[in-house]
Structure 1
Amino acid sequence: MQHLTPKEAHTFLQNHPDAVFIDVRSEMEFLFVGHPRDSIHIPWNEFPDWEVNPHFLAQVRRATSVNRPLVLICRSGNRSAEAGLFLEQHGYSEVYNVLHGFEGPLDEHHHRGSLAGWRSEGLPWEQC
């Protein structure tokens, strides 16, 4: 798996229209916190128990094929890295993880969104 900064991921997606951009956060995060424009939502794990989504692989297979690049994003880059490793174990060879995710790491006040991440870098996003 390769890792891209949010800006590198945005450029990669613009240069590779065949790539599939997957937001692996929970439904609540995707809908209420916001999400990158043109991303599709397939949760890696879900509230309230945060267990791995047993349908994750099947949902990814419905959305794409093993020969297309996948770009994965989550809140901070951790869940998307886990999901990426899982997908590589199941035949996906071109998987990219977005470092710092959508919201970035915690700042000194334990808040996200100010240090790094897709949203704080001014990349296109929307909120439902």
Structure 2
Amino acid sequence: MKHLKPKEAHEFLRAHPEAVFIDVRSEWEYLFVGHPKGALLIPWVDGPNWERNPEFVAHVKRATSIDRPVVLICRSGNRSRDAGKALEEAGFTKVYNVEHGFEGDLNEDHQRGKLNGWRFDGLPWEQC
């Protein structure tokens, strides 16, 4: 798995239109916090019990083939890294993780969006 900073991921997606961009956060995060434009929602972990989605790999396989680039994003880059490992174990060969995710790392006041991340970098996003 390769790791890309948000701006690098955005440029990669622009340069590789065959890539599939997947937001692995929960449906609630995707809808109410916002999401990168063009990202497909396939939760890695979702409510109400915040359990791992046992159908994650199957859903990704339906969305793309194992030899196309897959770019994963979550809130901070941790869930997407774990999801990427699962995809690699399932045979995906071009997996990319967006470091710092959509909202970024926590600052000293335990706030996100103040240090880094997709939104912090001013990349395209929307909220439903």
TM-score relative to the length of structure 1: 0.98
Instruction: Give the AA of the match of 1:98.
Output: V
Instruction: Give the AA of the match of 2:100.
Output: H
Q: What residue is the counterpart of 1:105 in the other structure?
A: 105
Instruction: Give the AA of the match of 2:85.
Output: L
Matched, 1:63 2:63: yes
Matched, 1:22 2:8: no
Specify every segment of 5 or more residues in structure 1 that has no aligned partner in the other structure, as ranges: none
RMSD, aligned CA:
0.6
Deviations 1:35-89 (A, max 9, x none): 0000000000101222110111111011000010000000000000000000000
Identity across the alignment (%) = 66
TM-score relative to the length of structure 2: 0.98
Partners of 1:86 and 1:97 in 2: CA distance: 12
Specify every segment of 5 or more residues in structure 2 that has no aligned partner in the other structure, as ranges: none
> Secondary structure in 2 aligned to 1:85?
helix
Instruction: Give the AA of the match of 2:32.
Output: F
Partners of 2:21 and 2:68 in 1: CA distance: 11
Partners of 1:107 and 1:12 in 2: CA distance: 27
Instruction: Give the AA of the match of 1:78.
Output: N
Q: What residue is the counterpart of 2:50 in the other structure?
A: 50
